[in-house]
Amino acid sequence: MTSSRTARKPLSYLLLFAAACLVAILFSIAFQRITILPMGNENLAGGGTTFYNRSSHAFGQPAPGLNGKEMSLHTEGDAAFDAVFVTAPAPINAGLGPKFNSSSCSGCHIKNGRGMPQLGQALVRTSLPAAIGMPIAKTEGVVPDPVLGTQLQDSAVCGEQPEANVTISWMETTGHYADGEVYELRSPQIAVTAIDSKHSISKNLLTSLRIPPPVFGVGLLEAIPASTLEAIADPEDKNKDGISGRINRVWNFETKRVDVGRFGLKANSATLISQTATAYAHDMGVANPLLPNKDGTLEIDQATVEASAFYTQTLAVPARAKVDDPTAKKVVQTGERLFEQANCAACHLGAIKTGAATVNALANQAIAPYTDLLLHDMGQGLADGRPDFEARGQEWRTSPLWGLGLTQTVLPYSGYLHDGRARSVEEAILWHGGEAEGAKQAFVEMIKGDRQALLKFLNSL
Amino acid sequence: MVRQLKAAELFLSLGLVASLAVGCSTPEKAADNLTVGEAAIAEGGEGGEGGEGGEGGEGAMSKSLNWANRFDNQAAIADFTDKVVIPNYVQYANRTAALSQAIDRFAAEPSEANLMAARAAWSETRISWETTETFAFGPAGSLGFDGAMDSWPVNRTDIENLLSGEEPITVEQVAQLQDTEKGMHAIEYLLFGPEAGKPLAEFSDRETTFLSALGQDLNQSADALLASWQEGIEGQPAYKTVFASAGNADNAIYPTTAAAAQELVSGIIDSLTEVGEEKLAAPFEAQNTQGLESRFSAQTMNDLKSNLQSAENGYMGALPTENLQAQESISTYIAAVDPGLDKKVKAEFAEASSALEAVPTPLEQYLTDPAAKGEIERAIASILAVKATLENEVVPLI
């Protein structure tokens, strides 16, 4: 091949590409008309990245459809996610702390599932109310506390002190269904006490207990186009259904600009890389290129951050439980109908589409995450009173419900909701308030059989 | 003509790529047509990948497993719980008690014989723990026992700082330590030294005091783990009941018997993956002994053999070290459906065991020895062979 021939090619390729694009767009439009999100198979919660496994291994499977190169990066990321950090100097995994919450990603995200509301798995976010002279930190979205910062590191390496002492106690309350059946709920009471007289606790400290959320399927959530979220959002409640839905706008450590928030319980992380880098820095005290030490030194490189993020990005979504028994199947279908009738599905969206993605398997998938990734006012009962970027004290991001029925198969005894206060899905429903008050009331007023059917449906996810 | 063909190919491939970029619904339609058991992306040809050429050529695409959801032998699950899970945790708890006592004897009287006895007790404990690998689900993870007893690597810097400090060392205080400062590997580090074979004269009083507290703490965790399965702790039901009652109408954790069997078979596959791809293959490929898990005692090979044994115990429903054998098991279930397949799995387990047995030990010494390369490669290949048979042939029957 001569050089003159290759020189002429780019133009013709360009024309060809343009023509191909046109054809593709026309096809695309035609297809969109015919196939508006048909969940052809209700069990394929994660589209083509669905993996059938209803055991404790369910949240740890690589997404089907990864090519060889992606699969090897996933495996590398799996090791990075499991890597336990230790105090420097050390031959491997040096750089823990000096203050931290856990020594590995998987130390909190055990088997990639929901954690328990106890220190070591859960952590306490902290901040101060915004005030004159106390501005919100641009990259953190809150006013950091002078002693505790934005997160209370309750552990420290040998010779160092944790930032403060924390105790969690539980307050029990009772309520009853319309049919008279009594239920019990509990909520956490956080007590933070100073480690010594030099590190006193601010009187107006805002705290928020958080359990680790499951980490599978997040690559798909990242691939939902921002335009889709804009279209679903209804910040002014223009459709007057009592449900707003707002996008959080947060700092993206990767691009160094404000972006749509998607991850975290108040959607305060923009991308998986950004989320992973902040988790390394804040949860483990491991400095990385996006959040280096004050003197610029690093404890892990960019490749490690990316591998870890890639691992979560490419975890499969578990398929819904296959219900063969016709009677049981009918109950689940009844429950699904009740879920829609009670308007749960207004926020917990059962059908959404991903757009373009760096990983081919994640692109253009029809998925059933049961979330809109938006912030909703959940009422006073669940409020932490701690604003986070644009999220208000009563707002929380709709949690995805896929894999919900496997929560305690993966991790027995783990809790639900942001702080793990709900010991069962039933309790979690009963905590809903604010924009979800109507849905909660619908549940409270159901006859027992209907409540059980709804729970059976949720357990099939 | 040739040139035109190429242009047409290019047009098609560009079209496919472009269609992905603008959101054509081809891939999702492909996915929709698959049923659950085959919830995998179809291999090759789909989604425009072919047009790009060269991509993904180094291996097949990842795919889902093809579970049949037909395993219905609840007795096999209950039997496995009674004959393998509980007795293995009992054995492990007993061995941690024996280890704690042996350490105490050594602390009281630091003789060569007592040191050897404590080291032997550590090895016995370790072997028993590693045979529980296949059923590492349930309380072991969520209640933090796995982390408290088996974190790796050891935080040597912190341990050395603790040893050079003056604070009194008690069991209560050790219980509060970070996971990487306690558990089996911290005991291993102190008992064997960083290079496997620390001389008796080098043990300080503070080290033996620390060892003593670590031994008691390990024993307490092992007892609590056993209790969580046998009786239930922290107000929770006994986990053996949860697992053994799989398929009962009120069991939300394992709604079907098949789900419990899938838990067990996934655990078997995971144990084989750990040995075949992580604990042996990764350090071997890197030619780096730092990655060998029990390198302080130079006993990583025991871990590998025990993990493999654990997988075989899961398949057979057996705990040979306690002479226990379940009446019904995954093996008997498979034998009833496809006797040839059961024979094949058993033969492959036997081959994997003998291949691992043939690798010269200590692995810490032979991992980088070219003379052992063939044996190590054979061991890895034979372990992955069992894994492949389970994934491709056993899973579709469970």
Share of chain A above pLDDT 90, in %: 86
CA distance A240 to chain B (A): 31
Average pLDDT score over residue span A68-88 = 96
The answer to whether residue B352 scores a pLDDT higher than 70 is yes
Q: How far apart are the C-alpha atoms of A320 and B186, rounded to whole Å?
A: 42
Interchain contact, A92 vs B138, CB within 8 Å: no
Q: What is the DSSP letter of B393?
A: I
Quote the pLDDT of residue B288: 94
Between chain A and chain B, the number of residue pairs with CB atoms below 8 A apart is 265
In this prediction the pTM is 0.88
Quote the pLDDT of residue B8: 44
Enter the tokens of residue B26. 């081809």
Share of chain A above pLDDT 70, in %: 91
Quote the pLDDT of residue A324: 79
Task: Please give the torsion angle defined by the CA atoms of residues B219, A420, A98 and B162, in that order, rounded to the nearest 10 degrees.
Answer: -20
Average pLDDT score over residue span A288-294 = 96
Q: How confident is the model at residue A325 (pLDDT cuts 50, 70, 90)?
A: confident
Interchain contact, B33 vs A40, CB within 8 Å: yes
Quote the pLDDT of residue A115: 87
Question: Of A7-11, A75-79, B25-29, where does mean pLDDT reach its minimum?
Answer: B25-29
Chain B contact present for A10, CB below 8 A? no
Interchain contact, B55 vs A120, CB within 8 Å: no
Chain B contact present for A358, CB below 8 A? no
Average pLDDT score over residue span B326-343 = 98
Q: What is the DSSP letter of A280?
A: I
Interchain contact, B263 vs A55, CB within 8 Å: yes
Is the Cβ–Cβ distance between A51 and A318 less than 8 Å?
yes
If you measure CA to CA, which chain A residue comes closest to B291?
A92
Interchain contact, A16 vs B137, CB within 8 Å: no
Quote the pLDDT of residue B22: 40
Interchain contact, A28 vs B63, CB within 8 Å: no
Quote the pLDDT of residue A218: 98
Phi and psi angles of residue A315, each rounded to the nearest 5 degrees, phi first = -80, 140
Q: What is the pLDDT of residues A30-44, one digit of tens each?
A: 443 333 333 346 678
Quote the pLDDT of residue A45: 94
Interchain contact, B27 vs A63, CB within 8 Å: no
**Minimum-distance CB partner of B28 among A68, A158, A366:** A366
The answer to whether residue A66 scores a pLDDT higher than 80 is yes
Tell me which amino acid residue A84 is.
V
Average pLDDT score over residue span B331-336 = 98
CA distance A352 to chain B (A): 12
Q: How confident is the model at residue A10 (pLDDT cuts 50, 70, 90)?
A: low
Which of B36, B167, B285 is the best substitution to test chain A (most A C-beta atoms within 10 A)?
Answer: B36
Average pLDDT score over residue span A98-111 = 96
The answer to whether residue B377 scores a pLDDT higher than 50 is yes
Interchain contact, A316 vs B64, CB within 8 Å: yes
If you measure CA to CA, which chain A residue comes closest to B158?
A158
Interchain contact, A53 vs B262, CB within 8 Å: yes
In A, residues 412-431, which contact B (CB 8 Å cutoff)?
Answer: 412-414
Is the Cβ–Cβ distance between B303 and B310 less than 8 Å?
no
Q: What is the pLDDT of residues B186-200, one digit of tens each?
A: 999 999 999 898 999
Quote the pLDDT of residue A41: 60
In A, residues 57-76, which contact B (CB 8 Å cutoff)?
Answer: 57, 61-72, 74-75
Instruction: Say how many C-beta atoms besides its own lie within 10 A of residue A358's C-beta.
Output: 12
Average pLDDT score over residue span B357-362 = 98
**Minimum-distance CB partner of A50 among B21, B64, B178:** B64
Q: What is the pLDDT of residues A367-401, one digit of tens each?
A: 999 999 999 999 999 999 999 999 999 999 999 99
Mean pLDDT of chain B: 88
Residues of A in contact with B165 (CB under 8 A): 158-159
Task: Please give the torsion angle defined by the CA atoms of residues B16, B20, B21 and B23, in that order, rounded to the nearest 10 degrees.
Answer: 130
Q: Report the relative pairing of strands A395-397 and A375-377 from DSSP bridges.
A: antiparallel
If you measure CA to CA, which chain B residue comes closest to A414?
B142
Residues A409-432: b if buried by 16+ CB within 10 A, e if exposed: bbbbbbbbbbbbbbbebbbbbbbb
Residues of A in contact with B25 (CB under 8 A): 28, 31-32, 35, 364, 366
Mean pLDDT of chain A: 91
Task: Tell me the C-alpha to C-alpha distance, in Å, between residue A410 and each of A320, A345, A384, B225, B389.
Answer: 15, 25, 27, 17, 25
Share of chain B above pLDDT 90, in %: 81
Q: What is the pLDDT of residues B219-256, one digit of tens each?
A: 999 999 999 999 999 888 999 999 999 999 889 999 99
DSSP code string of B257-320: HHHHHHHHHHHHHHHHHIIIIIITHHHHHHT-GGG-TTTTTT-HHHHHHHHHHHHHHHHHTEEG
Average pLDDT score over residue span A225-244 = 93
CA distance B213 to chain A (A): 17
Interchain contact, B32 vs A40, CB within 8 Å: yes
CA distance A390 to chain B (A): 31
The answer to whether residue B47 scores a pLDDT higher than 90 is no
Chain B contact present for A170, CB below 8 A? no
Q: What is the pLDDT of residues B249-308, one digit of tens each?
A: 889 999 999 999 999 999 999 999 999 999 999 999 999 999 999 999 999 999 999 999
Report which of A65, A85, A60 is spatially closest to residue A75, judged by C-alpha positions.
Answer: A60
Interchain contact, B31 vs A365, CB within 8 Å: yes
Place of tokens 């990764």: B282
Chain B contact present for A405, CB below 8 A? yes
Q: At what angle do helices B86-108 and B184-192 cross, to 10 degrees?
A: 30
Question: Of A3-7, A128-132, B208-212, where does mean pLDDT reach its minimum?
Answer: A3-7
Instruction: Say how many C-beta atoms besides its own lie within 10 A of residue A452's C-beta.
Output: 15
Rounded to a whole number, what is the distance in angstroms from the first to the last CA of chain B?
53
Chain B contact present for A319, CB below 8 A? yes
The answer to whether residue B54 scores a pLDDT higher than 80 is no
Does the predicted interface ipTM exceed a cut of 0.85?
Answer: yes
Interchain contact, B56 vs A51, CB within 8 Å: no
Interchain contact, B259 vs A44, CB within 8 Å: no
Quote the pLDDT of residue B51: 33
**Minimum-distance CB partner of A62 among B39, B62, B138:** B62
Quote the pLDDT of residue A11: 53
Q: How confident is the model at residue A16 (pLDDT cuts 50, 70, 90)?
A: low
Quote the pLDDT of residue A43: 78
> Which alpha helices (H) appear in A132-259, and where do they start and end?
218-222, 226-232
Enter the tokens of residue A107. 């130390």
Quote the pLDDT of residue A105: 96
Average pLDDT score over residue span A338-349 = 97
Residues of B in contact with A76 (CB under 8 A): none
